[in-house]
Amino acid sequence: MVAIATGSFRMGSNDRWTYPGDGETPVHPVDVSSFAIATTTVTNAQYAEFVAATGYLTDAHRYGWSFVFAGLLPDDFEATRAVASAPWWRQVYGADWAHPEGPQSGVDDRGDHPVVHVSWRDADAYCRWRGVRLPTEAEWECAARGGLDGAVFPWGDDLVPDDGHRMNVWQGTFPTDNSLDDGFLGTAPVDTFAPNGYGLHNMTGNVWEWCADWYDPAYYAHSPATDPRGPERGSHRVMRGGSYLCHASYCRRYRVAARSGNGLDSTTGNLGFRIAAEAR
């Protein structure tokens, strides 16, 4: 983990890529107290240690299924229910953190990849075991910006800088054709790309990351200027950063200001988390 010193930054976005319905506006100054945050998301190997030590069963295990991106399934995979509004998501029985694409898959060769198919409750349980916590949404965005004021991405404003790709997102035509220009179809190892100015890897792309806050699209209009921690209650928790499935044609949420939310027990193959802690 790295320490992020007390400081101020401008939170949110109002540029041409902003999703107003997600509550990215208004742009507003925020002061955050010092905190520490992990340089990478939690890996499969790290989550395996937690499960081995505690016998914890994730929500995906208990429900018996999770959502998997259809493009990662074998061509002869049995027909399963799809999400009506997003048919690339398939309900796969037996999919969980240890079997990301279903019973026929595993993570033995993906120990350094981000753990996925973890709900907010699963992430919170891991944090409690480690004696840490999830970052607040304000801490997450402050860290993701890496000290750059108002930049679109953790490294600047260019999606693909001259020195090449900086994150794992979709290239090509979504969801049928991925040119793999960044080298990955599914998840990438957690430290694949160069870190931002704070030494943090993959703050955008690869997997969505759970935050501590309840999600409310209207929150920025009245959030406190110092250490905001989200609404007091809600039905969804904040997730940040976008994933390997994000593409400008439908989901340009692989930006430091982008935000979304999901239910506490929701699990998918592109959703993980990173840990934070109080500064020492």
Q: pLDDT for 5-28, tens place per residue?
A: 999 999 999 988 899 999 999 999
Whether 78 is covered by a domain: the verdict is no
* pLDDT, position 262: 98
CA 280-227-150 angle, to 5 degrees, is 105
Residue type, 49: E
DSSP code of 41?
P
Q: How many domains does the chain have?
A: 1
Residue type, 216: D
**Whole-number percent of the chain with pLDDT over 70:** 100
Whether 202 is covered by a domain: the verdict is yes
Please report which confidence band the pLDDT of residue 126 belongs to, taking 50, 70 and 90 as the band edges.
very high
Whether 100 is covered by a domain: the verdict is no
pTM for the model stands at 0.97
Residues in the chain: 280
* Segment among 83-87, 122-126, 236-240, 269-273 with least mean pLDDT: 83-87
Whether 164 is covered by a domain: the verdict is yes
Whether 195 is covered by a domain: the verdict is yes
* pLDDT, position 84: 87
The residue range of the domain holding 161 is: 2-42+114-278
Distance CA 93, CA 219 (A): 36
Q: pLDDT for 143-163, tens place per residue?
A: 999 999 999 999 999 999 999
The CATH number given to whatever domain includes residue 187 is 3.90.1580.10
Distance CA 188, CA 208 (A): 13
